[in-house]
Structure 1
Amino acid sequence: MMRLFFATLAFMSRLPVPARLSQGVETERYVRGVVFFPLAGALLGALSGVVFLALERGCGTPLAALFSVLALALLTGGFHLDGLADTCDGVFSTRKRERMLEIMRDSRLGTHGGLGLIFVLLGKVLVVNELALRGGHMLPALVCACVAGRSACVLLMYRQRYARQEGLGNLFIGKVTGMQSAITLAIGALFCALLGQTAGLIAFALTLVAVYLLALALKRTLGGQTGDTLGAAIELGEFIFLLALL
């Protein structure tokens, strides 16, 4: 199980996971690693929170918020942000379904993708700054936000259809079991309850509702989910969770 955790962590981040700890996991087993998504999120959120705390006193909350969000983007290699941008480019192109999926495969950044990135990244910075100014405990808040986003994305996997023939998302979409989904969500809820107390649990519930509605909308628009939509759900889930804490 530990090998699967490190393989999942290496898949979802750019953290220097030693090869000996993550190698040897068959591709078919990656779907079992979905239960480790909240744990990977907790680690990434903790590192982002440490950056915020390290800079807050010397640089002020605005710059601390900026660099904590930047740190999170760097820690994930922009993996989920890329999915967000591709999803925005495809969905907001208002083309036919097949053309939308083609646009999402295009590595070039379009206007809608750029606007989506600006909105979400700027929104995160502003919300983190505002939470800090209101006296919020930023380390647990950032941990819970990353946990919530990665837990909620299971809603785009369970009993969902993969919109393409092949791709990274095919490792998870439509292959996650009900038990794996329940465990993932339970771990996410436990983190948010312990670290964020009642406010954290309420924010987690609101995030699940928003991501579920997103899943329904994407399913209707694209005919299913893709790896890009999973990334979009993670990024939007983090943002929605932080907003819900205000």
Structure 2
Amino acid sequence: MLDWRAYIDETARAISFLSRLPVPDRFFAGHDGSLSKTAAAFPVAGLLIALPSACVLALSLTLGAGSTLAALLTITVHVVTTGALHEDGLSDTADGLGGGHDRDKALTIMKDSRIGTYGALALILSIALRTTALATLCIPGSIAPAIAAWLAGASLSRGLMVWHWSSLPTARTDGVASRAGAPTKPVANLALALGGALAIALGWLALPLAALLTSLIASGILSYGFTAHIRQRLGGQTGDTIGACQQFAEIGFLVTLAIAL
């Protein structure tokens, strides 16, 4: 039986970890800082974290902004809200995989805070693909499909990133993901189920079912492929690859949905 009071506490902690949004100190009283249980709340936290940017999207379209401008404003607000947490992981992962010829070199590059060519290109492509896809989903006369897709992608991608986290051993013992404590399989399964359920529930309101399911499958396949590649190249996950998985999952969902519609 799920303890909803405890889950609310974990959701608050997840919001604090995944964003710059303020969370009352009472949620951290007596907490050891571990994310092994908190990860189960990542999909719900992802949904709540995406609400401010979804409001910007709705307001921009209502006021007559063009779809591209509205989409870019939405992603800008979201990046500010999250502190570019996942974008940073994507950038570091791209630099490591692109510039590292072996595991140790790749991990060393990923730990370097400086951004390289591969990381810069990954960021540009991530913003461009998500902006274009979200703009395509801004159907004239209806703001519901774009908002539903944005919120659904936020929830689904956080569930898939937890799955990535739990599916691989840690690649290094001094990283953030290692210190935070890996989620157990039941926690990861709950996160994945909640991410998928929230995505379906949100998408059901405004998106064609076939396009929604196709996008869910595409996002899952892309996350699986990325995880398999990380297993082969690094032998395990890091905080950066977890963030990168979120980006791949969200991009895959939004782009596939934009094409399917």
TM range (shorter): over 0.9
Given the alignment of the two structures, is residue 195 of structure 1 paired with residue 202 of structure 2, yes or no?
yes
Listed as ranges, the gaps of 5+ residues in structure 1 are none
Paired AA for residue 159 in structure 2: S
Match of 1:37 in 2: 42
Paired AA for residue 3 in structure 1: D
Displacement of 1:58: 3.2
TM-score, scaled to structure 1: 0.93
Given the alignment of the two structures, is residue 16 of structure 1 paired with residue 22 of structure 2, yes or no?
yes
Displacement of 1:18: 1.8
> Residues 49 and 143 of structure 1 are in contact (CA less than 8 Å); yes or no, is this contact kept in structure 2?
yes
Which whole-Å CA distance do the structure 2 matches of 1:70 and 1:181 have between them?
29
Paired AA for residue 251 in structure 2: F
| 189-198 vs 68-77, greater mean Cα deviation | 189-198
Among candidates 67, 72, 75, match of residue 73 of structure 2: 67
Match of 1:144 in 2: 152
Aligned CA distance change for structure 1 residues 140 and 240 (closer, same or farther; 3 Å): same
1:107 aligns to what SS in structure 2?
Answer: coil
Which whole-Å CA distance do the structure 2 matches of 1:244 and 1:12 have between them?
25
Given the alignment of the two structures, is residue 206 of structure 1 paired with residue 218 of structure 2, yes or no?
yes
Match of 1:215 in 2: 227
> Residues 36 and 184 of structure 2 are in contact (CA less than 8 Å); yes or no, is this contact kept in structure 1?
no
Count residues in correspondence: 244
> Residues 36 and 184 of structure 1 are in contact (CA less than 8 Å); yes or no, is this contact kept in structure 2?
yes
2:166 aligns to what SS in structure 1?
Answer: coil
Which whole-Å CA distance do the structure 1 matches of 2:30 and 2:213 have between them?
36
Match of 1:124 in 2: 130
Paired AA for residue 163 in structure 1: A
Given the alignment of the two structures, is residue 179 of structure 1 paired with residue 191 of structure 2, yes or no?
no
Among candidates 34, 48, 55, match of residue 53 of structure 2: 48
Which whole-Å CA distance do the structure 2 matches of 1:222 and 1:76 have between them?
26
**Backbone CA RMSD of aligned residues:** 1.7
Among candidates 43, 64, 72, match of residue 58 of structure 1: 64
> Residues 148 and 237 of structure 1 are in contact (CA less than 8 Å); yes or no, is this contact kept in structure 2?
yes
Which whole-Å CA distance do the structure 2 matches of 1:139 and 1:187 have between them?
19
Given the alignment of the two structures, is residue 234 of structure 1 paired with residue 241 of structure 2, yes or no?
no
- Identical residues among aligned pairs (%): 31
Which whole-Å CA distance do the structure 1 matches of 2:162 and 2:9 have between them?
21
Listed as ranges, the gaps of 5+ residues in structure 2 are 1-5
| 199-208 vs 6-15, greater mean Cα deviation | 199-208
Given the alignment of the two structures, is residue 98 of structure 1 paired with residue 110 of structure 2, yes or no?
no
Given the alignment of the two structures, is residue 224 of structure 1 paired with residue 236 of structure 2, yes or no?
yes
Which whole-Å CA distance do the structure 2 matches of 1:176 and 1:94 have between them?
28
Which whole-Å CA distance do the structure 1 matches of 2:187 and 2:9 have between them?
18
1:58 aligns to what SS in structure 2?
Answer: coil
> Residues 155 and 211 of structure 1 are in contact (CA less than 8 Å); yes or no, is this contact kept in structure 2?
no
Which whole-Å CA distance do the structure 2 matches of 1:245 and 1:159 have between them?
26
> Residues 46 and 139 of structure 1 are in contact (CA less than 8 Å); yes or no, is this contact kept in structure 2?
no
Paired AA for residue 201 in structure 2: L
> Residues 7 and 25 of structure 1 are in contact (CA less than 8 Å); yes or no, is this contact kept in structure 2?
no
Match of 1:170 in 2: 178
Which whole-Å CA distance do the structure 2 matches of 1:203 and 1:151 have between them?
15
Which whole-Å CA distance do the structure 1 matches of 2:237 and 2:64 have between them?
43
Paired AA for residue 196 in structure 1: G
TM-score, scaled to structure 2: 0.88
